[in-house]
Structure 1
Amino acid sequence: MKLLRYGPPGQERPGLLDACGTIRDLSAHVDDIAGAALAPEGLARIAALDPASLPAVTGGPRIGPCVGGVGKFVCVGLNYSDHAAETGAKPPPEPILFMKATSAICGPEDDVIIPKGSEKTDWEAELAVVIGRTARHVPKATALEHVAGYCVANDLSERAFQSERSGQWTKGKSSDTFGPIGPWLVTRDEVPDPQALRLWLEVDGTRRQDGTTANMIFSVACLISYISQFMSLHPGDIISTGTPAGVGLGMKPPTFLRPGQVVTLGVEGLGVQRQRTVAWPG
């Protein structure tokens, strides 16, 4: 299934994308694409519905973040060997974890705001994992059983905030609109191998990233198992699994986003995002 949320920011309604590409309203059956609806029992109830029996949504509404009420947005740094190399870093011996503020989450076609004072806003196409079953100290062999589905994420980053000022990476990753997710959540049954997905990104029509999840240093299953050693993962939590080579920081010379550009990105089978960059309004 492809599950989504549509409507104005803060007023999104739950929906399902049918086989013909029509959005079907799920409001009579679930409150949101969040929490319990993402647990195995919740997804089973949605899967049992006949899409043709659900009201069709017309008028081309805004597509919101595909998951609501996200408790944690956990990100993984330097998880592709080619990306680590372009930044001058060695592949890490264990996953590098950091958090992105949930206030950064936005829709897949919402404008991306260049933060106040930013000179190094960068792009990062990523595969994101949405948890569907609580995970605590889970073994790698059964880790994927805790996945509700997958979606596209753009782990936007302000490199000066991230690396040139003291402290953690989080402040370079958490500006408003720095967490587009969607357009939809594709349930786990439709993604037989999360390590065999192509992902790509373009800026103003020029291809910048073109990679495959097969090149992850730490697989999706490994990441879930590893993260669950340090914190409980709950339904609706998101793990963004890292980005391949081709970020602006790695270009010669480094090249960063400025207002008025268009970023387009996608992951095989999971849909496409398109964002316009705009200046800080202040």
Structure 2
Amino acid sequence: MRLLRVGAPGQESPALRDEAGRLRDLGGVVDDLDGSFLAGGGIERLAGLDVEGLPVLPEGLRVGPPLRPGKIICIGLNYRDHAAETGAPIPAEPVVFMKAPDTVVGPDDPVLVPRGSTKTDWEVELAVVIGRTARYLSSPAEALGCVAGYALSHDVSEREFQLERGGQWDKGKNCETFNPFGPWLVTADEVPDPQDLGLRLWVNGAPKQDGNTKDMVFPVAEIVHYLSQFLVLYPGDVINTGTPAGVALGQPEPKPYLRAGDVVELEIDGLGRQRQTVGQA
């Protein structure tokens, strides 16, 4: 299933894309797409639904984030080529940082360059959505059973705030609008191999990133297992799993960081596409 939420910001209602590409209203079936929906077996209930009996929604509605997320855990330097382009060593263990849920916006909403920023950067990423509580998993083999589905995520970053201003990475990761998410939550049964998905990103039509999840240093199952040793993963939590090479930080001077008016487009195989116009905070 391809689950999504449509409507004005803060007023989104649940929907799905059927096999013919039509937008179907789930508002009379579930309250929202969030941790409670996932924890209560919502995906399993929808799997038995007569989709043809659902109302068809008009096209052109704003698409919001496909899920009200819980916490957002991010993995840094998780592609060998990205670590190399930034001059960082391959990490021996996953590099972990957090994003606040209020950074999440819809897949086509504007991204705002923060005030005082000169180094706002792009990062296309595979997002993993947790569907079952994961606590001290005994092995990576257990991990994929805790995954509800996958989505496209844009881990926007401000590199000066992240790397040059002291402290932790979080300062460069939590600016408003810094996590466009969606368009869909694609259920895990439709993604048979999360380690064979192409990721691509363009800025103003020019290709910048073109990678594949098979090149992750730590694959999805290992990440979920690893994180479960340090924190409890709950239904509705989201993991951004890292970005391949091609970010502005890794390019020669003058590095082409984002400016107001730029257009960023990104996609992952089978998970949809995003398009953001960059504005100024």
TM-score by length of 2: 0.98
| Aligned counterparts, 1:1-282, within 5 A | 1-39=1-39, 41-68=41-68, 70-138=69-137, 139-253=139-253, 254-280=255-281
Which letter maps to 2:36? A
Any unmatched runs of 5+ in structure 1?
none
Q: Is the 8 A contact 2:14 2:30 kept in 1?
A: yes
Residue type of the partner of 1:168?
A: Q
Q: CA deviation at 1:34?
A: 0.7
Mapped partners of 2:169, 2:50: distance in 1? 45
Amino acid at match of 1:46: L
Question: Does the aligned pair in 2 maintain the 1:40–1:148 contact within 8 Å?
Answer: no
Gaps of 5+ in 2: none
Contact 2:107 2:274 in 1 (8 A): yes
> Aligned partners of 1:201 and 1:165: how far apart in 2?
27
- Displacement of 1:40 in angstroms is 7.1
AA in 2 matched with 1:78: L
> Is contact 1:152-1:270 (8 Å) kept?
yes
2:108 alignment partner AA: E
1:247-276 CA-partner distances (Å, limit 9, x unpaired): 000011222000001000011000000000
Quote how far apart the aligned CAs of 1:137 are. 1.0
| Letter of the structure 1 residue corresponding to residue 28 of structure 2 | A
- The CA deviation string for residues 194-224 of structure 1, in whole angstroms up to 9 with x for no partner, is 0000000000000000000000000000000
Aligned length: 279
User: In the TM superposition, what whole-angstrom CA distance separates every residue of 1:220-248 from its partner, at most 9, and x where no partner exists?
Assistant: 00000000111100111000000000000
Higher mean alpha-carbon deviation, 228-237 vs 30-39, is at: 30-39
Deviations 1:68-106 (A, max 9, x none): 1x2200000000000000000000000000001111000
The whole-number CA distance in structure 1 between the counterparts of 2:118 and 2:100 is 21
Question: Which whole-Å CA distance do the structure 1 matches of 2:181 and 2:40 have between them?
Answer: 21
Could you tell me which amino acid in structure 2 is paired with residue 205 of structure 1? G
Amino acid at match of 1:116: R
Whether contact under 8 Å (2:14, 2:25) holds in the other structure is: yes
TM-score for both structures, normalised by structure 1: 0.98
Deviation at 1:23, TM superposition (A): 1.1
SS of 1:256's equivalent in the other structure is coil
| Runs of at least 4 residues off by over 4 Å | none
User: What is the CA RMSD across the aligned residues, in angstroms?
Assistant: 0.8
Point out the more displaced range, 36-45 or 230-239: 36-45
SS in 2 for 1:98: strand
1:52 partner SS:
helix
Query: SS of the residue aligned with 1:274?
Result: strand
One-letter amino acid of the counterpart of residue 101, structure 1? A
3-state secondary structure, aligned to 1:221: helix
Report sequence identity in percent: 57
